[in-house]
């Protein structure tokens, strides 16, 4: 019975021990630590964050944090030596991999002090100091062989002589003390033969992966470091030959230790994998917790300046370019608008004959020089086509400096715009813009009478026949009659002359430019500044004295036109100085040879009665005394043969013509 109980107990013990040995871990992996609270022994400041990070320290100064895997590992294996009948211990191969991130408290000065992966006989490190001691040792046990501690330090503060630190960003292998057996600046080798070395910033806040591998046969420990997103480097950063069997006890704990001081950092372990006698499992990178809060990530120091500058400068420059572009477009738009705009005064708003400047601008192709069809005393005349209607027009551009009476004038042309007679060149409208006034007229294709007479003389064009000339003179007389008498108010033309007579397609005469001389006549309110307007030779003598245009002065000018058309020459006699065409015709008349004055280019092919009538009527209309001149109605009657003009021989200067009813 006792035996059976003993056997049962033995079996039970055997079983349990067997179960124990079977369930004993030889590997683990943490893809984040959310479910690892029971598997870890935390000490000091270390904790597991809500999102599954193992935080060894926060940014508080002078703290220590430890985290160990709760169960120890049997690092040593007993090896029998049959020949010497003794046993020796060998350290098992092991492989550890982890991902960490260090977020410094002070972005400029950097953080501190670092952390270490450690293999220790205990799952805590009592009495260890913070700062340079990394929570591993204290001043009294540092370097003590009884520590049995192996550590790989990730040191972010240069101890400046203490512990042989090489830099503030180094990786070192420590045995029992903080003076590293071997260390190197944190970096990794890449390239096919591992020839290129890349810097790793431990305090970048970015996740960094570490592989620590020990081969129990070769007794070499390798440490490899690389950013998480990089593939595993082909060469380890540190390779250290050491027999751990002398260092380790049978059972060892694996874990981490970190510390802060005046300089501090949050030290995070993100994932951790370990295996005895084999390669540590690979992480599932996608399931690793995200660390640390991106806002706390320190920008890399050197390349970040450029990045920062680029990040600031590029948007600023783009913004400036954009603003410049917008301003330029606005300026162009405003410039174009202003170029085409007109400032309207209140009174201009209700004028039905007002044209838009833009319309005229487009009609004349931007007042192109090639569109100029004439240059008069007031300014250039452009041919144009109104875009909306396709109507051909002549646009007279008056660039006069003094358009003081413009409002009054416009009021007048507004009413003149209503004048309609087949022998008038119609004023279609107007447009005032700044100091220029644009007048829009019918386009009359055959140009002006003075040109037609001159060109005829040069034989380059068919000479205007007497019939045409006589017809034109009657046309103009009817137009003047309309202005003087047939409209609801008396309109004085003020500038009747050959160049203001235009010829339409059928060589009918049309009188243009009526009322324009009014522009210069501010005389109603200030007679002394009155400027005499008209054309030399067409100017009635009393106009020079009074400055006051009347229907009589228009008749005088018309008389000049009669002579000019009949004689085919200008009003001022080019042959004799200080002699006018009127003087010459008058001389011919008094010599009884009035037809001598006729245009030689007509080759005597004219109606003698009509010719005599025109010449005599011309002289009569140019009578010195306005009251002795016929009215335009009377002139029309003579020309149309309604009345007969009977003359004595006393024509010429101051001549008195007896008008025969």
Pair 194, 233: CB distance under 8 Å: yes
616 labeled part of a ligand binding site: no
Nearer to ligand NAG by Cβ, of 196 and 308: the residue is 196
Which residue, 25 or 637, is less far from ligand NAG as judged by CB?
A: 25
Nearest distance from residue 76's CB to ligand NAG, in Å?
14
Give the DSSP H or E segment for 18.
helix 2-23
Distance CA 367, CA 360 (A): 8
**Would you say 220 or 296 has its CB closer to ligand NAG?**
220
Residues between 60 and 99 with contacts to ligand NAG, criterion CB under 6 A: 60, 63, 80-85, 88
Residue 97 CB partners (closer than 8 Å, separation 6+): 209, 210, 211, 212, 272, 273, 274, 280, 281, 282, 283
38 scored as a contact of ligand NAG (CB under 6 A): yes
CA distance to 303, 376, 429, 438, 445, per residue, from 380 (Å): 68, 6, 17, 10, 16
**How many CB atoms are located within 10 Å of the residue 609 CB?**
9
3-state helix, strand, coil in the chain (%, to 5): 30, 25, 45
Beta carbon nearer to ligand NAG, 215 or 250:
215
Q: Quote the distance between the C-alpha of residue 543 and its chain's center.
A: 62
The catalytic position among 142, 174, 442, 495 is 495
Nearest residue (CB) to ligand NAG, 40 versus 492: 40
- What's the longest Cα–Cα distance across the chain? 185
Of 577, 581, 504, 600, the closest CA to residue 538 belongs to 581
Q: How far is the CB of 221 from ligand NAG (least distance, A)?
A: 8
279 interacts with ligand NAG by CB under 6 A: no
Q: Is 495 a catalytic residue?
A: yes
Taking the complex as a whole, how short is the minimal distance between the CB of residue 81 and ligand NAG, in angstroms? 3
Binder among 4, 140, 286, 575 for ligand NAG (CB under 6 A): 140
Q: How many residues bind ligand NAG (CB under 6 A)?
A: 28
Q: Pick from 42, 45, 280, 472 the residue near ligand NAG by CB under 6 A.
A: 45
**CA dist 55 to 50, 168, 169, 335, 413, Å?**
10, 21, 20, 66, 93
E strand or H helix that includes residue 336: helix 301-340
Least separation, in Å, of the C-beta of 227 and ligand NAG? Answer: 20
* Least distance to ligand NAG, CB of residue 170, Å: 19
Scan residues 233-252 and list those touching ligand NAG (CB under 6 A).
235-236, 239
Q: Give 38 or 658: the residue with its C-beta nearer to ligand NAG.
A: 38
Contact string 196-235 vs ligand NAG (x = CB under 6 A):
-----------------x-x----x-x------------x
Per DSSP, which regions of 219-260 are E strands? 220-227, 238-241, 251-259
SS (H, E, C) 398-466: ECCCCCCCHHHHHHHHHHHCCCCCCCECCEEEEEEECCEEEEEEECCCCCEHHHHHHHHHCCCCCCCCH
* Only segment of 136-144, 154-162, 468-476, 587-595 that touches ligand NAG (CB under 6 A): 136-144
By the rule CB under 6 A, 23 interacts with ligand NAG: no
| Positions in the binding site for ligand NAG (CB under 6 A) | 28, 30, 38-39, 45, 58, 60, 63, 80-85, 88, 126-127, 138-141, 213, 215, 220, 222, 235-236, 239
Which residues have a catalytic role annotated? Answer: 495
Q: Which residues are annotated as a binding site for ATP?
A: 397
In the annotated binding site, the residues are 397
């Amino acid at each position: 019975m006792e035996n059976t109980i003993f056997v049962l107990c033995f079996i039970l013990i055997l079983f349990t021990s067997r179960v124990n040995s079977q369930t004993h871990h030889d590997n683990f992996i943490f893809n984040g630590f959310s479910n690892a609270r029971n598997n870890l022994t935390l000490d000091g400041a270390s904790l597991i964050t809500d999102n599954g990070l193992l935080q060894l320290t926060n940014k508080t100064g002078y703290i220590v944090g430890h985290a160990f895997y709760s169960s120890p590992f049997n690092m040593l294996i007993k090896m029998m030596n049959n020949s010497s009948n003794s046993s020796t211990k060998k350290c098992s191969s092991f492989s550890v991999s982890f991902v960490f991130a260090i977020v410094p408290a002070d972005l400029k000065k950097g953080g501190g002090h670092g952390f270490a992966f450690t293999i220790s006989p205990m799952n805590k490190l009592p009495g260890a100091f913070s700062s340079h001691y990394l929570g591993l040792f204290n001043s009294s046990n540092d370097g003590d062989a009884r520590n049995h501690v192996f550590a790989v330090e990730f040191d972010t503060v240069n101890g400046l002589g203490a512990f042989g630190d090489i830099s503030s960003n180094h990786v070192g292998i420590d045995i029992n003390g903080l003076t590293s057996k071997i260390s190197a600046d944190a970096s990794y080798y890449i390239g096919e033969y591992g020839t290129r070395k890349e810097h790793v910033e431990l305090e970048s806040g970015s996740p960094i992966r570490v592989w620590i591998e020990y081969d129990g046969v070769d007794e070499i420990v390798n440490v490899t470091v690389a950013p998480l997103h990089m593939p595993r480097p082909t060469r380890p950063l540190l390779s250290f030959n050491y027999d751990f069997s002398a260092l380790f006890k049978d059972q060892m704990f694996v874990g981490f230790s970190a510390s802060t001081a005046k300089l501090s950092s949050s030290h995070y372990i993100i994932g951790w994998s370990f295996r005895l006698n084999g390669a540590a499992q690979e992480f599932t990178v996608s399931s690793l917790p995200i660390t640390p809060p991106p806002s706390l990530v320190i920008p890399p120091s050197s390349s970040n300046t450029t990045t920062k500058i680029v990040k600031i400068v590029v948007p600023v420059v783009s913004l400036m370019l954009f603003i410049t572009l917008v301003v330029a477009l606005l300026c162009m738009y405003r410039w174009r608008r202003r170029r085409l705009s007109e400032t309207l005064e209140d009174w201009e708003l209700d004028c039905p004959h007002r044209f838009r400047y833009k319309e005229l601008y487009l009609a004349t192709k931007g007042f192109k020089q090639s569109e100029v069809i004439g240059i008069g005393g007031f300014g250039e005349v452009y041919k144009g086509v109104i875009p909306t209607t396709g109507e051909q027009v002549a646009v007279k551009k008056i660039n006069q400096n003094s358009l003081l009476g413009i409002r009054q004038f416009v009021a007048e042309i507004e009413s003149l715009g209503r004048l309609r007679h087949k022998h008038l060149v119609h004023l279609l409208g107007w447009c005032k813009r700044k100091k220029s006034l644009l007048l829009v007229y019918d386009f009359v294709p055959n140009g002006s009478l003075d040109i037609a007479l001159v060109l005829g003389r040069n034989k380059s064009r068919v000479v205007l026949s007497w019939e045409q000339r006589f017809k034109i003179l009657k046309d103009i007389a009817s137009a003047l009659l309309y202005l003087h008498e047939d409209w609801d108010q008396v309109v004085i033309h003020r500038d009747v002359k050959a160049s203001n007579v235009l010829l339409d397609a059928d060589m009918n005469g049309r009188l243009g430019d009526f009322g324009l001389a009014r522009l210069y006549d501010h005389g109603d309110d200030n007679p002394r500044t009155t400027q005499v307007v008209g054309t030399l030779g067409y100017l009635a003598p009393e106009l020079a004295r009074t400055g006051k245009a009347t229907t009589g002065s228009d008749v005088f000018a018309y008389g000049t036109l009669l002579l000019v058309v009949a004689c085919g020459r200008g009003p001022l006699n080019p042959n004799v100085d200080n002699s006018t065409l009127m003087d010459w015709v008058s001389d011919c008349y008094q010599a009884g040879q009035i037809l001598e004055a006729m245009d030689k280019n007509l080759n005597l092919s004219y109606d003698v009665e009509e010719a005599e009538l025109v010449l005599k009527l011309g002289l009569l209309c140019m009578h010195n005394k306005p009251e002795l001149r016929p009215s335009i109605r009377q002139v029309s009657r003579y020309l149309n043969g309604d009345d007969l003009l009977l003359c004595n021989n006393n024509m010429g200067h101051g001549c008195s013509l007896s008008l025969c009813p």
